[in-house]
Amino acid sequence: MSAGGADGGEAVDRTPSERVDVCVVGAGPAGAIVAAELSAAGHDVVVLDAGPRFDPEDRPERMERHLRPGVDRAVWDTGGERDTFSASGDRHYPLDAARVKGIGGSTLHWQAMVMRLHEQDFRLDSSVGLGDDWPIDYADLRPYYARAEAELSVAGASDNPFAPPRERPHPLPAFPPSYSDSLFAEACEAVGLATHSVPNARNSEPTDEAGACVGYGTCKPVCPSGAKYDATRHVAAAEADGARVLDRVPVQRLVHDADGDRVTHAVYATPDGEEHRQEAREFVVAAGGVETPRLLLLSRSESYPDGLANSSGLVGRYFMDHLFAGMGGTLEEPTRQKHVGFNTTESHQFYDRPDDSRTAFKLELLNYAGPAPADVALSADSFGDELLAEVREGYGTHVAMGALVEQLPRRENRIRLDPSRTDDRGNPVPDVVWSLDGTTRRTIERANEVQRAVLEELGADIGWTVGPENTGPAYHHMGTTRMGTDPAESVVTPQLRTHDLDNLTLSGSSVFVTGGAMNPTLTIAALSLKAAEHVDERL
């Protein structure tokens, strides 16, 4: 396998196209969906991605890297000089584990749980006095959510009493609950916790694009069968409609015209060390919640001394993630974990905030608690029958609950440049300044309380807790180029265009004003569809 992607990086033509209609930076879902939409509409599109084009044939080997201890290479080759970063906040931020660079972006690694934000998420300040309101509301996004679910072939059911109103069923039927879920059912009922299905961007049935899930159980970090959605599907659609998608071409900076009103070209580097310029009528930056603000900061100019599109001073500010809260233990009976790598039951009962005392959280019943037999066997210090006894002891009776917890936007949490360190191209690296506030900690504790109540009711011997002290991020990078109507208080308009530059659109979770506690990518997809519409209107 070549680290550089299928072609080894040499045979491909990476010279720029003549001035195109649209230049998209980033081939994760936020960029790929925009590219697919705009090329389907007949526009000339070039997509530039920093990472390689991974060969699908290599996925089984990547799976082994994940399953076998002792194989240290990152599954998707993240890390190293290209990805150097700093994390100078109170909390360390493990950025290398939190994203993938390459065609398909972080969806190559993701878990693919996809749900809509709730109505309350869009008006948090006006409803309970927390955070800020979005400039758009659920009703504005609702039609785009429906289209996004179709784009991602979401498998789901309409059995969630806490979900916002929807117009039609999900495109594919939900995955039925697991045996493990059935063990929880009574305990959940006894403590008054209402549960429901999980919407998954994973084929419960075959579609034109991919076969049905076959149960490899390694969804995160790699689905060898392709049943789990990743953005290579939209890259393929864009290419089929004529888009040019270049890999291993990190954009170094965006350059604007004399008036500072329009971006004229993107400067990108190629593997041979050359730099090129791609001109376009419209630019869409979709480089993820960390690299999008970084690219703007790297593109500072005389007109924009603090960074491109940064008149507000807010580029990089209000960085948010979701926090993980969890608890697990063992039962005195088999729990049948680890057959599949995704979850089938969760609860949004505690999602909406009653007042300003806590933020949102959602609860998940895990289908992959505890170690798999191979995990035990490969790190045990016994052999033969003794080892088998250890494997039987280690696998088999685990249960666990997870939760995602909302973190409110705070100015001091931010992505900034660290001028003291540079990446492989000599650019200052991103510095993730991240910390936890009291409200978030309280919400994590509240999630733990509910988890404890359920697990105790279930009769579990509780073995571990992830609470406020040992919590970590869920790898959802949000808020760093927030959306708003006031140019002094936000970076992009409700149409996702920057206030400062007329032909620069930002696509992705960096535009979120608040993050709720839902995995972000369905909302990213919905906003990408919306952004594409606005770009199309201007072309």
Residue ranges binding ligand SF4 (CB under 6 A): 202, 213-219, 223, 225, 227-228, 340-342
Count of residues that interact with other proteins, criterion CB under 8 A: 53
Nearer to ligand SF4, 367 or 440 (CB): 367
Query: Which residue in the set 53, 101, 116, 499 belongs to the binding site for ligand FAD (CB under 6 A)?
Result: 101
Asked whether 48 and 23 are in contact (CB, 8 A), the reply is yes
Residue 145, token pair as written in the block = 């959510």
Q: Nearest approach, Cβ of 218 to ligand SF4 (angstroms)?
A: 5
426 binds, among other proteins, ligand SF4, ligand FAD, none (CB under 5 to 8 A by kind): none
Q: Applying CB under 8 A, which part among 82-90, 269-277, 389-397, 404-412 lies near other proteins? A: 389-397
Spatial CA neighbour of 363 closest among 517, 514, 469, 149: 517
| Minimum gap (Å) between residue 206 Cβ and ligand SF4 | 12
From residue 70, give the alpha-carbon distance in Å to each of 63, 64, 67.
13, 11, 10
The reply on whether position 374 binds other proteins by CB under 8 A is yes
> Which of 494, 475, 525, 16 has its CA nearest to residue 233?
525
| Both tokens assigned to 334 | 């088999």
Give, as ranges, the residues between 177 and 196 that touch other proteins (CB under 8 A).
177-179, 182
Q: Cβ of residue 212: shortest distance to ligand SF4, in angstroms?
A: 8
Please give the single-letter amino acid code of residue 96.
D
| d(C-alpha 317, C-alpha 293), whole Å | 9
- Smallest distance from other proteins to CB 375, Å: 9
- Binding of other proteins at residue 440 (CB under 8 A)? no
> Which one of 105-113, 167-175, 187-195, 327-335 is the stretch in contact with ligand FAD (CB under 6 A)?
105-113
Helix (H) / strand (E) containing 36: helix 29-40
Cα 95 from Cα 475, distance rounded (Å): 8
Q: Are the C-beta atoms of 315 and 479 separated by less than 8 Å?
A: no
**Which listed residue (36, 45, 63, 504) binds other proteins by CB under 8 A?**
63
Candidates 499, 521, 527, 531: give the one binding ligand FAD (CB under 6 A): 521
Burial label, 297 (beta-carbon count in 10 A; 0-12, 13-18, 19+): buried
Choose which of 23, 75, 98, 491 interacts with ligand FAD (CB under 6 A): 98
Q: Which stretch binds ligand FAD (CB under 6 A): 21-29, 60-68, 134-142, 459-467?
A: 21-29
Alpha carbon distance 126, 31 (integer Å): 32
Residue 227 C-beta: closest distance to ligand SF4, Å: 4
Is the dihedral angle over the CA atoms 459, 464, 470, 475 positive or is it negative? Answer: negative
CA 258 vs. chain centroid, Å, equals: 36
Q: What are the backbone dihedrals phi and psi of residue 499, each rounded to the nearest 5 degrees, phi first?
A: -60, -35
The closest of 536, 416, 527, 533 to 116, measured between CA atoms, is 527
Q: Where are the beta strands (DSSP E) in 427-491?
A: 428-433, 461-466
CA proximity to 29, closest of 535, 526, 536: 526
Looking at the Cβ atoms of 113 and 483, the one nearer to ligand SF4 is 113
* 515 binds ligand FAD per the rule CB under 6 A: no
Is residue 73 involved in binding other proteins (CB under 8 A)? no
124 in Cβ contact with 130 (< 8 Å): yes
Nearest to residue 309, comparing CAs of 318, 299, 319? 299
Q: Indicate whether 38 belongs to the interface with other proteins (CB under 8 A).
A: no
Binding letters toward ligand FAD, positions 31-60, x by CB under 6 A = x----------------xxxx---------
Which structure tokens are listed for 157?
Answer: 């059911």
Find the DSSP H helices in 358-437.
Answer: 373-379, 384-394
For residue 280, the Cα-to-chain-centroid distance in whole angstroms is: 27
Any contact of residue 103 with other proteins (CB under 8 A)? no
Encoded tokens for 321? 């993630």
CB of 153 to ligand SF4, least distance (A): 12
For residue 31, the partner it binds in ligand FAD, other proteins, ligand SF4, none, with Cβ less than 5 to 8 A by kind, is ligand FAD
Residue of 118, 520, 530, 531 that binds ligand FAD (CB under 6 A): 520
User: Phi/psi at 45 (nearest 5 deg)?
Assistant: -125, 135
Q: Is residue 327 a contact point for ligand FAD (CB under 6 A)?
A: no
Residue 382 touching other proteins (CB under 8 A): yes
Structure tokens at 92: 């360390």
Residue 156 within binding range of other proteins, rule CB under 8 A? no
Does the protein bind other proteins through residue 372 (CB under 8 A)?
yes
Note the residues at the interface with other proteins (CB under 8 A).
60-64, 67-71, 175-179, 182, 204, 212-218, 224-225, 333-334, 336, 338-341, 344, 367, 372-374, 376-379, 381-385, 387-388, 391-392, 395-396
Note the residues at the interface with ligand FAD (CB under 6 A).
25-31, 48-51, 98-99, 101-102, 105-107, 109-114, 220, 250-251, 286-288, 291, 295, 475-476, 508-509, 519-521, 524
